[in-house]
Amino acid sequence: MFDRVFRDVTVVDGTGQPRFQSDVGISDGKIAAVGSDLGPGKREEVGQGRVLAPGFIDLHTHSDFSLFVDPRGESKVRQGVTTEVIGNCGGWAIPLEGECRTVAEDEFHRVGGTGSLPWCSLDEYFEYIAKQGVSPNVAALVGQGAVRAAVMGFDPGAPSADELRKMRCYVQNAMAQGAFGMSSGLYYAPGSYAETDEVVALAKEVAAYDGIHSVHLRDESTYSVGLMAALEEALTIGERSGVRTQVSHLKALGPGVWGQAPALLERLENARAEGLDVLADQYPYTASGSSITGALIPRWAQEGGREALIGRIDDPSVRPDLLEGVRESLERRGGAERLMIAGYPPDARLEGQRLSEVAAARGEAADVTALELLREADAAFVCFVMQEEDVAAIMADPSVLIASDGRAVAIDGPTSKGHPHPRYFGTFPRVLGRYTREQNILTLEQAIHKMTGMPAVRLGLGDRGLLQPGHWADLVLFDAERVADRATFENPKQYPIGIEQVFVNGVPVIVEETHTGERPGRVLRKR
């Protein structure tokens, strides 16, 4: 007898192949059988036209600390996400040494944590996650920015031979402890201070373990090297190191590069034809997420860390150049009216307002307001900087998978603060509803493949991501005619509809669109 049987469900198995009607039996946390007229189950669920699919694998998340603060992972598991991959955009969760610990604990407190973080290595991080229990499975990347901060802080320039050796050791140790690869945040300090050769050296350590290099490009607009040149750098790193390359949240950011999505996709296709293993991921929105520091502050002004940056704000010999850099950043993003404050702990009343509105209320220029806000805290922004035509073109490409670039939060509890990007709550249902059912940009089979089998293969998860016997029973039961995101930019903290049941390792985590409180998630390590 099976532990549970789903009767006459529409199976979309994650391979991209056509859907089919079937029974599905699960036992001991795994899919035991897929076929017709299966034997009885201790519990049975009748399909009634609903779709059963593998649980969604979110390849690009920032839940490093929020899952530690609130292990329910509400905003993700309610979307159907059963596996979270942390450590993206250069990471901060490991290794918690040197300046990396300082930044990590600031971020931990920002998402509702208290006290100090109790780990240093990836092994220790996994130990604490497993001890407290979490609802989704958790996999990890090691961050190139975090590694650089641990060894060199926020100092610019090339590392010494000994510093590079230490960085390589950190990456190698993380890979040996089960990381699935490395992420680079080449747009953000201190990762941005690394030259290509330095990243290649670290990527070689990842390639030795057949991991992936998930890279936030050095430029997604016209900031420094330009969008296409930044893509070329990522491809060069892959070619020289032999690492499998994953371009993070592929986009054309800012009016200066709108319309370049076809060129980006063509370059990726040509690179694959030349033998390079490169894919990309995307979130389904025309707005990005960043902060004052990340979106507006020149990288030279961030040298030495936050304390040095605040000193430059107050230095009359430096402040004019700093303001000029902020103005250039605002212009590149289309103006202060395109930036919505998503989180500002010193004054939550500002959350949900545009930077232009806050500046007008203060009687200041937007560049001055940005620096004055930064003096108290680094405000989070939602930035309306993409166009729908580029988003749709990227989504339709078969080499691009779906990922949220968001963290697991909730509408209650310690992670409920702020006015976050709606991708935290709606990424996967938005693709299934808006872009699949309504706009027909993807078929249901294609959409599910981009969320399940495709990221599973990318990571090397041989027993997840497909609805097949022997795979772990990470499953999502949803109504394809009703599934939709409800989170909006104006009111983001809303759970989706239509995701009726979610199972993680065979245990029900969502039942009737309500969290059961179960924490069956496992730590996943690369074999």
- Domain 56-286+386-509 fold: TIM Barrel (3.20.20)
Tell me what percent of the residues of the chain surpass a pLDDT of 70: 100
The whole-number pLDDT of residue 335 equals 96
Rounded (5°) CA angle 102-422-516:
85
Q: Give Cα 406 to chain centroid, integer Å.
A: 5
Work out the number of other CB atoms within 10 angstroms of the CB of residue 490. 9
**pLDDT > 90? residue 337:** yes
Q: What is the DSSP string of 233-258?
A: HHHHHHHHH--EEEETT----SGGGT
Model confidence band, residue 123 (pLDDT cutoffs 50, 70, 90): very high
Strand partners, 181: 212
- Tokens read off for 131: 């001890």
The span from the CA of 436 to the CA of 439, in Å, is 6
DSSP state of 55: P
Q: What is the DSSP string of 104-157?
A: HHHHHHHTT--S-----SHHHHHHHHHHH--SSEEEE-EEHHHHHHHHHTT--S
The whole-number pLDDT of residue 527 equals 85
- Mean pLDDT over 372-398 rounds to 96
DSSP state of 83: E
The whole-number pLDDT of residue 130 equals 95
- Write down the number of H helices and E strands in the chain: 18, 21
Q: Tokens 């920002």 belong to which residue?
A: 110
**pLDDT > 90? residue 160:** yes
Strand partners, 502: 476, 510
CB 27 within 8 A of CB 2: yes
Query: Is 283 strand, coil or helix?
Result: coil
What's the pTM? 0.97
DSSP state of 300: G
- Mean pLDDT over 28-54 rounds to 95
- Mean pLDDT over 477-497 rounds to 98
- Tokens read off for 394: 């990227």
**pLDDT > 90? residue 37:** no
**pLDDT > 90? residue 281:** yes
Model confidence band, residue 404 (pLDDT cutoffs 50, 70, 90): very high
H-type helices in 339-418, by residue range? Answer: 355-362, 366-376, 388-396
**Average pLDDT value for the chain:** 97
- Tokens read off for 332: 């590149």
**pLDDT > 90? residue 524:** yes
Work out the number of other CB atoms within 10 angstroms of the CB of residue 99. 19
CB 378 within 8 A of CB 343: no
CA-wise closest residue to 55 among 80, 77, 29: 80
Tell me what percent of the residues of the chain surpass a pLDDT of 90: 98
CB 339 within 8 A of CB 354: yes
- Mean pLDDT over 147-159 rounds to 97
The whole-number pLDDT of residue 61 equals 98
By CB atoms closer than 10 A (0-12, 13-18, 19+), residue 333 is buried
- Mean pLDDT over 250-278 rounds to 97
Domain ranges in the chain are 56-286+386-509, 290-383
Q: What is the pLDDT of residues 315-336, one digit of tens each?
A: 999 999 999 999 999 999 999 9
